[in-house]
Structure 1
């Protein structure tokens, strides 16, 4: 239990640094918004998403999407990389 709490603390501490190095996709000219838990997203079509399939651990990701009104938005969040579960 202590390991899980320590792990969560470390992830929370280093996430802002990971976000600083992750840029919005080059094709988008929209401002990237930080995802907040519980945020309501109106996603009609995903246009672009960071490929984290070859990364491990918790990594930053950016998703560019079009809403139901046709406006383009970008949101940054963290997710588990695709290599995280291959050793288990």
Structure 2
């Protein structure tokens, strides 16, 4: 199930806008937990996933359907695992 969550959150990467800057104050970081209801209207940025083979913290900044900005921290599998 964690892999599914990571895939869903990674899927939002295609919606991310690179290089966007803003003078808006950054919101407090919210922790993602299984079952957290997310209202994501627009992804603003995603953190880079390191090239390691372990679970690492990642963040996503997004706007909800009301235009409020949120920063969400979640766990993701690093990109360094290979299947040789």
Question: TM-score higher than 0.5 here?
Answer: yes
Which of 43, 48, 52 is 2:45 aligned to?
48
Query: Per-residue deviation at 1:55?
Result: 3.0
CA distance, structure 2, for counterparts of residue 72 and residue 55 of structure 1: 29
Any unmatched runs of 5+ in structure 1?
1-26
CA distance, structure 1, for counterparts of residue 26 and residue 76 of structure 2: 23
Larger radius of gyration: 1
Partner of 1:36: 33
TM-score (ref. length: structure 2): 0.64
Bigger share in helix: 1
Any unmatched runs of 5+ in structure 2?
1-21
Partner of 1:68: 65
